[in-house]
Structure 1
Amino acid sequence: MTIKPWREIAVPHQDVLKGTFQESEFAADISQVHQGKATPEYQDAAQFFARTYITEGMALLLDSVVKRLAGQGGDPVIQLQTAFGGGKTHTMLAVYHLAKGERPVGELAGVSTIIDAAGITELPKAKIAVIDGINFSVSEPKSHGAIACRTLWGELAWQLVGEEGYELVRAADESGTSPDKDTIITLLSQSAPCVILMDELVAYYRQFQEGRNYLAGTFETNMTFIQALTEGIKSVPKAIMLASLPDSHNAGEGRGQVVLAELENYFRRLHKIWKPVSKDEAFSIVRRRLFDRIDDPLSMEDVCRSFADFYVANKMELPNETQEGRYLDRMKQAYPIHPEIFDRLYEDWSTLTGFQRTRGVLQLMAQIVHRLWKDNNADLMIMPGNLPLYDSTVRNKCLDFLPQGWDPVIDQDIDGEHSRPAELERQPLFGKIQAGRRLTRTLFLGSAPGSAGKMIKGLDLTHILLGVAQPDQIIGHYKDGLKHLLDKLNYINHENSRFWFDITPNLRREMETRKQRFNEQDDVLPLLKDQINRTMAKSHLFAGIHIFTSSNDVPDDFGTGPRLVVLPLNAAFSKGASNTSFTAADAILRNRGDQPRQKQNRLIFLAPDYDVVSRLREHAKTFLAWKSIVSDIDSEKLVLDTIQVKQAKKHKDDADATLLRMVRDTYKWLICPSEEFVKGKPSVHWEAVSVSTAAQNLVQEIENKLREEEWLITEWSPVHLKRVLDQFYFKDEAKEIGALKVWQDFNCYLFLPRLVNSHVFEMAITQGVETEDFFGYAAGKDDNKYLGFAFGRNALVNIDPDALLIEKEAAHQYKELTKPKPLPEPEQKGGESGATGGDGKITPPVVPPTVTPPIPPAQSAKHQFYGTIDLDPIKAKMDFATIVDEVVQQFTARMGVDVEISVEIRARSKDGFDESVQRTIRENCHVLKFGNAEFD
């Protein structure tokens, strides 16, 4: 079912559509109507009732009026007392048009029902007097031709009966003394049926100062007149008086309170208090005044039903009142305006000084509807989230009732194309539903009036969601949007699941200012190093974890395991781009400080993700800022209220948890180097894989990933060792190789397997020599004899300088050669146990003498060593360092050994060397103290 937007169902009045309405049109003025000067919607009875919703209180009052005018009972005096803007003047106008009878009752919407219910067949026309306290002065008379009325009783007599009526009270009017009760009864009887409408009495009576005499009399004489008038009306069956009194909050200070108390004393004995407009009735009042008609009632029902079903389906996210059937009725009554708008305006905004309940709501909503219609708003209903604060007229109307300082709040944190909520909507998820501004507008409407001096501030989450979410939308998107806004806005506050805006910046602005103090090198990197340490539990495989460590400080040793190097933020990994992570890792791989690195196959790298690094930097600075704020609070350098202190500490804890999570999200790329042979020369190749950011133990996850990728070998089969030996060592007729040499090569060369430690290597040898399928092992060698030889049997394997690995066939041949020869069996007579001689004695068997092999002559001691080697010019630097470690140090480590090293360099060029090259090389050779360096 397709649900129609409000603009296709409800049609505003033309003045609202065109924006031609004036705010004064919503301010009913009974004097203007009485003088025939009001606008048509107030002056013409038919138009007035067409735009008037007859509330329950108004219906009861009109019933009493028609009965009184028809002489069938009814209340003689009715006091209208309610809050500022409660609709009392509008009610007086309804009585005015009904009693005056200028239009047939059938043309007055809703009136026929009241008259029929009262049993009145024909309502007589009544004479009407309107006393508007604001329109009278105590010192200036009202002129009516030759007659000048000085007092209220003089004006009343003139309006009801004219000159004849004025003559009844002329003496009392000219002397400023109240007429007696009988005179008033005579006046009322001559004018009956009559209606007296007295508005703003307190405003008139406040003009009298105690003890002073005015043209209009004294305060006491005027109070006596009110007493006589109320008593006199009771005696005239078809006379009725309506008087409006403000509540005590709107009566003014001092004199106004005294006047109100006196008037209430007189009216209390005879009056009937009018029932004011209820909040739900105000829905219909506003809709009738702003909207001409509902074109499609069935579609309106569908919209309201869809909202009700949506609220039931999401009952855990929304206020309890939305689950009641009555809320559906409220939506129908208020449509196309959502009831939550009325709740906020009548409960919150009506508490503001100067905001009239019905009139203020009408003025604001007329501007809202006009702007939304002009902007082609296509929402299902007009909701708090639609409040167009970007419109200057709407904004100014709201700001009229609020203290100074809200302009920057609206500009930055609530509405407008360049506000922070608008920036949030650049994300497709939030932009599709305008989540940012809908949330902040709703929050503004519900919190701005109560941001100061209110014990319980703001809106709870359920009412915020009620103001923004529409059927078929995912409420969770708005909740996520609110979380984002809490991190970005400067004027939003949050405490105990309630949210509000205030003109005082929250701590976030202080935090944002402090963020600028911190730099990456001195503040961010040390913090992140500590955070990464927190994510790294104890490792069982790595000999060391080096976080943001320079190449000089990453050891170049065999160690007990490989080393994990955590790269800094500026060495981030990114797919499909030239990776700074590879460049940074390569620099550490090749060198340890200024020296070439030998044990390259011991290093593995962990790099940050390029797409997350910038956010990690920001989160780190955010945490540092909150930490400094809390530190200043604890040291009393920063004084805040209790709520702000709690917020600061919570923000710090949240920032800490977020930073730890961001570290896990950022450091996710394992980088491992290897070597491939290209045209016979090794070439470094880099590979990268990501580790799961959801794993609780980062180190364990890294270790698992290394095993999975076979970048780190924890168990190794002897068949793999045999393959490596055959490929790299047992060639060119070489039949044996030192076990320590192989293990050291495994640590150095990237084309060889990366074993976790020497134990894995020893186990592979141990398992290999148990059979004759792989290789042999010897603990050492003495001339041509292998010591501790093992091939096809168990052996105690040690990786030391004497241990040897022997090629399979060579080991087999050696084993055959060293098999002991079987001894010849001796000839025996008389049985195996010996022969019996003639004398009966047993002769033992003859055993051949043992032959002791000749001891080879001792070799003469060697006193000199001389060796030469050709080096690849490309790898000469690395190879020469290896020669020093493996050969030269064997001599220099022994006492009494003199070592001399000479380097011979020959370079040839078929094109010859130019002068610049020759000059450079000669200068360098001179500095390096070459003995001979010549070109020819």
Structure 2
Amino acid sequence: MKPFSTIAIPHRDILEGRLTMDVFAADLWEVFKDRAPEEYQDPDIFFRKTYLTSGLKNLLDIAEKRLGGKGGDPIIQLQTPFGGGKTHSLIALYHKAKELGINLIVLSGDKFPAGKNEPTLWEEIERQLEGKIENLEGMVTPGGEKLRELLQRHQPLLLLLDEIHEYVAVKALGVKVGDSNLASQTIAFLQELTGVVKTLDKTILFVSLPSSNPYRDEKSEEILQALQTILGRMEKVYTPVQDEEISHVIRRRLFSEVNEKEARNTIEEFLDYAEREKILPEGVEKVKYRERFVQSFPFQPEVIDVLYKRWGSFPTFQRTRGVLRILALIVHSLKDSKNSFIRLGDFDLKNDEIKMELIKHIGQEYNGIIAADITSRDAGAKKVDRSLGDAYSPFSFGTKSANVIFMSSFSGGPERGAGINEIKLSCADPSTPSSIVAEAVSKLKDNLFYISDVGLFFTNQPNLNRILLTKMGSIEDLKLEEKNLLTKSLTKEYFDIYIWPGNPKDISDTTRLKLVIQTNHKRCKEFLENCGERPRVYRNTLIFLCPSESERISFDNFLKKKLAWHFIEKDKTLRITDEQRKEVREKIKKAEAEVKERIRSLYRLILLPSKEGFKEIDLGIPTYGADVTIDKEVYERLRGDGEILEKLSALSLKEKYLKDRDYVKTKNILESFYKTSGEVRVIRDEVLKDSIKEGVRQGLFGVGGIENGKPVCDHFKEEFSPEIVEEEIIIRAELCLPKPIEGISDEMFQSYITKIKECDRTLDITKIEEEIAQYDLSSEQRKKLEKEARRRKDELQDIVKPKEKYHNINLKLNVPSGKLSDIVKMVNYIKSKFNQVNIRVEISTQDGEMAISEYEDKVKEAINQAGVRVEDEDVE
């Protein structure tokens, strides 16, 4: 779309910025004195820039008819709200009289003095007609006959009386005339004047009166009613400018020409967009809105409505003149822009002239309010502009939305504020979705200080945002509150808990698992390695939980707000409304509901001691609505990842500690769990005891002691409860087998076992016979050994060469409600071992492998802990 300034061409004075108020201040007295601006003094320029409304045309026709002796109303009262075009109409009548060559009387009450040494209205009339004051001299009204003689001699005669109420109510009221005053005499004179004019066939009187009393005092109100009563006996009231004509008046005065075809093209393109976005005014048909837009172009209809009807309802706002002045400033400020039309959102409130034209009607305090919320670099609206992202920041939707809200906030009546659709209509750009404006408005509510808490309008009272920020600014130390929140979010069910310990000695050096909440990541190593003055022994029992630095600013801001809302609620000195107090309570309720999630979002980094330093695990974003303590979530995560074991498979124990050794002390195993960083973490000693007990029962290894420097198996393939003492060892299963044949030494038996282990996995009997043939045995011994080998083939296969890995896993699970996340973690572990994992209600794997010990510890254990029932299991 083309820039509006290439379609609607502004007058040169608008483009050049010759925008002083006197250009728009129609002044009949200045025209009469031949010293008005050329826009009013030169009749050609005046009528070229004046839109002849139906009312103005009617006035000119009535005057011409009456002055020609062809009848018509002798007295016309012009009555509109202040600034509604009365004086402009009188100037038009003045130029018409000059054109017709008739006599003129001009009295302008705002410029005409009153006093003992000043001429009265009747004296001024005689002076203007006769050039001297003789027959009508004096402070007392002259009477009807003298007045009639004077006026009749000078017919045809046009009398123009402007601002008469101001003259009588403000000036003449204070001038004494005998026992009376000049105001009373002037009212009597006007009564005589109207009576005389009625009797003269070529004389017409035009009088302008305000529609309401602008001075707001009882006496001036009485005078206005008296004047209306006098004129009301025979006058006709005319409104020079109807509301629907104001757009034409504005266009004619501000623009020299408008390309109607291009204007319609621009309007149609916008209407198509507005219709798609459903932002046309509610209850207004598209065709009607198009008609209004065509009349007001390049201004959106809402611009005229808000200025003329809302701002124009202020007693101090001169309606037509004030609207013209502001819009002239707006056009000048946008003359070099690419705007295709002018919206309320385009008002530049940073422009001092525009701003001052507005705030003089609403109060100087709004100068600071506009800066704080809309125009300064750190204003809330500017923050919203930046927060919408690079794609939308050039559109300044935050500032534009704030402009619309501000312009819609004020009127002399009850109307105030704007709805979201009105704001969209006055801000939206056809190249963007209007929803971005709604987002901007939502953010404005959280960033502006003077937008009302109960609607989209500005006030001169700080809103809860401002009060909130003031309270937040007084909060310096958040540590105590943060610690309290942490304390409420932790239990001692899973770990010994230490919150922000100041010294490593504050953490006990025991075998219990400990969750250490630390704010400084760098101190974790110090706490891990030391316990006061001595080195820490049980290092693998420490689990550190630290805050995410990326969440710190957000959390501190949330915490300050939470505390500030509580301070506001308790502050009885604050003068806030019941509605605001209700909102404060709602904010507190919301903050309390969020607090667990917020503290958990902050403390999300687990640092686990490992062989290389620390292993970092990020708990991620908390699950919405999950009522889980932080320590429980840490525990469940580490248990799900296999970092903490509630159960240790016997096979895993065998693979880890007896793969390359014949035996190992049970106490050393347990000590390594607690002391060695990165080792298996068990929740208690019983985890190891149960594992040993199961291994002995299954015959995966045996338990015994050392005799003469050699392991001696005391328990194998039987029920047994280990004690985890210094002398206790677990022993490889092969060393726990009984001698198969009497007369064969231990050395020979062990050699036999070794040779068997080197045979093919199938334990082919032929190969076993070949091995037996190598020994120097009797025929009877050889036969017994062969028989024993055959008998124990299956047993030897399990003990000597057990299966170590699964290449295929098929599981069918029945998952209870709320346990799916545990299964997902287990599935992720399976996926790390296989190249292809198919998941349905069942789990099947292909192309990969997993150690049986891993399957037992990490997969089966996760399933068991989750309380999931395995309906079918097939592993290979």
Shared fold (TM-score greater than 0.5)?
Answer: yes
The CA distance in 2 between the partners of 1:137 and 1:441, in whole Å, is 43
Specify the alignment match of 1:719 in structure 2: 651
Percent sequence identity is 27
Listed one character per residue, the Cα deviations across residues 313-347 of structure 1 (whole Å, up to 9, x for unaligned) are 444x7863677653343333322233333333334
Q: Report the Cα offset of residue 641 of structure 1.
A: 4.9
Q: Report the Cα offset of residue 273 of structure 1.
A: 1.6
Specify the alignment match of 1:366 in structure 2: 328
Q: Does 1:754 align with 2:707?
A: no
Aligned-partner SS, 1:21: coil
Seen in structure 2, the aligned counterparts of structure 1 residues 701 and 227 have a Cα distance that, compared at 3 Å, is: same
Specify the alignment match of 1:129 in structure 2: 105
Aligned-partner SS, 1:344: helix
Specify the alignment match of 2:10 in structure 1: 12
* Amino acid of the structure 1 residue aligned with 2:39: E
Seen in structure 2, the aligned counterparts of structure 1 residues 510 and 137 have a Cα distance that, compared at 3 Å, is: closer
Residues 765-784 of structure 1 mapped to structure 2, 5 A cutoff: 765=692, 768-769=695-696, 771-772=698-699, 774-777=700-703
Aligned-partner SS, 2:334: helix
Q: 2:27 aligns with which of 26, 29, 34?
A: 29
The CA distance in 2 between the partners of 1:13 and 1:93, in whole Å, is 21
Specify the alignment match of 2:615 in structure 1: 686
Seen in structure 2, the aligned counterparts of structure 1 residues 240 and 421 have a Cα distance that, compared at 3 Å, is: same
Q: Report the Cα offset of residue 654 of structure 1.
A: 5.1
The CA distance in 1 between the partners of 2:553 and 2:343, in whole Å, is 38
Q: 1:281 aligns with which of 227, 233, 245?
A: 245
The CA distance in 2 between the partners of 1:288 and 1:456, in whole Å, is 29
Q: 2:206 aligns with which of 242, 246, 266?
A: 242
Q: Report the Cα offset of residue 245 of structure 1.
A: 0.8
Listed one character per residue, the Cα deviations across residues 514-557 of structure 1 (whole Å, up to 9, x for unaligned) are 4455444xxx1231233345556x797x3344443444444443
Q: Report the Cα offset of residue 131 of structure 1.
A: 2.1
Q: Does 1:602 align with 2:537?
A: no
Q: Does 1:333 align with 2:295?
A: yes
Specify the alignment match of 1:442 in structure 2: 404
Seen in structure 2, the aligned counterparts of structure 1 residues 603 and 227 have a Cα distance that, compared at 3 Å, is: same
Specify the alignment match of 1:558 in structure 2: 511
Q: Does 1:204 align with 2:158?
A: no
Q: Report the Cα offset of residue 608 of structure 1.
A: 1.8
The answer to whether the Cα contact below 8 Å between 1:11 and 1:291 also exists between their aligned partners in 2 is yes
Q: Report the Cα offset of residue 28 of structure 1.
A: 0.4
Q: Does 1:229 align with 2:165?
A: no
Q: TM-score, normalised by structure 2?
A: 0.74
Q: Does 1:422 align with 2:382?
A: yes
Q: Report the Cα offset of residue 59 of structure 1.
A: 4.1
Q: Report the Cα offset of residue 701 of structure 1.
A: 5.4
Q: Report the Cα offset of residue 286 of structure 1.
A: 2.4
The answer to whether the Cα contact below 8 Å between 2:713 and 2:731 also exists between their aligned partners in 1 is no
Q: Does 1:293 align with 2:269?
A: no
Aligned length: 735
Q: 1:195 aligns with which of 147, 153, 158?
A: 158
Q: Does 1:789 align with 2:718?
A: no
Q: 2:85 aligns with which of 71, 84, 87?
A: 87
Q: 1:625 aligns with which of 559, 564, 567?
A: 564
The CA distance in 2 between the partners of 1:515 and 1:652, in whole Å, is 14
Gaps of at least 5 residues in structure 2 are: 744-876
> Where does structure 1 differ by over 6 angstroms across 4 or more consecutive aligned residues?
214-217, 454-457, 780-788, 814-818
Residues 523-672 of structure 1 mapped to structure 2, 5 A cutoff: 524-533=478-487, 542-550=494-502, 551-559=504-512, 562-568=513-519, 571=520, 581=521, 583-633=522-572, 640-642=576-578, 645-646=581-582, 648-653=584-589, 656=592, 661-672=597-608
Seen in structure 2, the aligned counterparts of structure 1 residues 195 and 714 have a Cα distance that, compared at 3 Å, is: farther
The CA distance in 2 between the partners of 1:767 and 1:50, in whole Å, is 108
Q: 2:735 aligns with which of 810, 824, 829?
A: 810
The CA distance in 2 between the partners of 1:54 and 1:796, in whole Å, is 113
Gaps of at least 5 residues in structure 1 are: 102-123, 143-149, 572-580, 676-682, 819-936
Seen in structure 2, the aligned counterparts of structure 1 residues 191 and 477 have a Cα distance that, compared at 3 Å, is: same
Residues 341-356 of structure 1 mapped to structure 2, 5 A cutoff: 341-356=303-318
Q: Report the Cα offset of residue 610 of structure 1.
A: 1.7
Q: Does 1:742 align with 2:740?
A: no
Listed one character per residue, the Cα deviations across residues 216-247 of structure 1 (whole Å, up to 9, x for unaligned) are 99555543443343344344444432211123
The answer to whether the Cα contact below 8 Å between 1:414 and 1:444 also exists between their aligned partners in 2 is no
The CA distance in 2 between the partners of 1:717 and 1:588, in whole Å, is 32
Q: 2:454 aligns with which of 492, 496, 507?
A: 496
Listed one character per residue, the Cα deviations across residues 50-103 of structure 1 (whole Å, up to 9, x for unaligned) are 2223334334444544554555554332211222111111122233334443xx
Specify the alignment match of 1:860 in structure 2: none
* Amino acid of the structure 1 residue aligned with 2:658: D
* Amino acid of the structure 1 residue aligned with 2:516: V
Aligned-partner SS, 2:257: strand
Specify the alignment match of 2:791 in structure 1: none
Q: Report the Cα offset of residue 24 of structure 1.
A: 0.7
Q: Does 1:409 align with 2:369?
A: yes
| Structure whose CA Rg is larger | 1
The CA distance in 2 between the partners of 1:803 and 1:322, in whole Å, is 93
The answer to whether the Cα contact below 8 Å between 2:26 and 2:40 also exists between their aligned partners in 1 is yes
Listed one character per residue, the Cα deviations across residues 282-314 of structure 1 (whole Å, up to 9, x for unaligned) are 33322322222224x344334333443444444
Listed one character per residue, the Cα deviations across residues 253-293 of structure 1 (whole Å, up to 9, x for unaligned) are 34422321221111112122223634443333223222222
* Amino acid of the structure 1 residue aligned with 2:44: A
Seen in structure 2, the aligned counterparts of structure 1 residues 707 and 285 have a Cα distance that, compared at 3 Å, is: farther
* Amino acid of the structure 1 residue aligned with 2:397: A
* Amino acid of the structure 1 residue aligned with 2:352: S
The CA distance in 1 between the partners of 2:729 and 2:574, in whole Å, is 72
Seen in structure 2, the aligned counterparts of structure 1 residues 172 and 286 have a Cα distance that, compared at 3 Å, is: same
Seen in structure 2, the aligned counterparts of structure 1 residues 590 and 482 have a Cα distance that, compared at 3 Å, is: farther
The answer to whether the Cα contact below 8 Å between 2:405 and 2:456 also exists between their aligned partners in 1 is no
Q: Report the Cα offset of residue 362 of structure 1.
A: 1.9
The CA distance in 2 between the partners of 1:20 and 1:97, in whole Å, is 24
The answer to whether the Cα contact below 8 Å between 2:62 and 2:72 also exists between their aligned partners in 1 is yes
Aligned-partner SS, 2:546: strand
Aligned-partner SS, 2:135: helix
* Amino acid of the structure 2 residue aligned with 1:128: L
Seen in structure 2, the aligned counterparts of structure 1 residues 736 and 752 have a Cα distance that, compared at 3 Å, is: same
The answer to whether the Cα contact below 8 Å between 1:460 and 1:499 also exists between their aligned partners in 2 is no
The answer to whether the Cα contact below 8 Å between 1:318 and 1:465 also exists between their aligned partners in 2 is no
CA RMSD, Structure 1 to Structure 2 (Å) = 4.0
Specify the alignment match of 2:319 in structure 1: 357
Q: Report the Cα offset of residue 612 of structure 1.
A: 2.5
Aligned-partner SS, 1:395: helix
The CA distance in 1 between the partners of 2:291 and 2:236, in whole Å, is 31
Q: Does 1:378 align with 2:338?
A: yes
The CA distance in 2 between the partners of 1:346 and 1:714, in whole Å, is 78
Aligned-partner SS, 1:721: helix
The CA distance in 1 between the partners of 2:741 and 2:22, in whole Å, is 121
The answer to whether the Cα contact below 8 Å between 1:76 and 1:234 also exists between their aligned partners in 2 is yes
Specify the alignment match of 1:394 in structure 2: 354
The CA distance in 2 between the partners of 1:746 and 1:329, in whole Å, is 84
Q: 2:231 aligns with which of 254, 260, 267?
A: 267
Aligned-partner SS, 2:35: coil
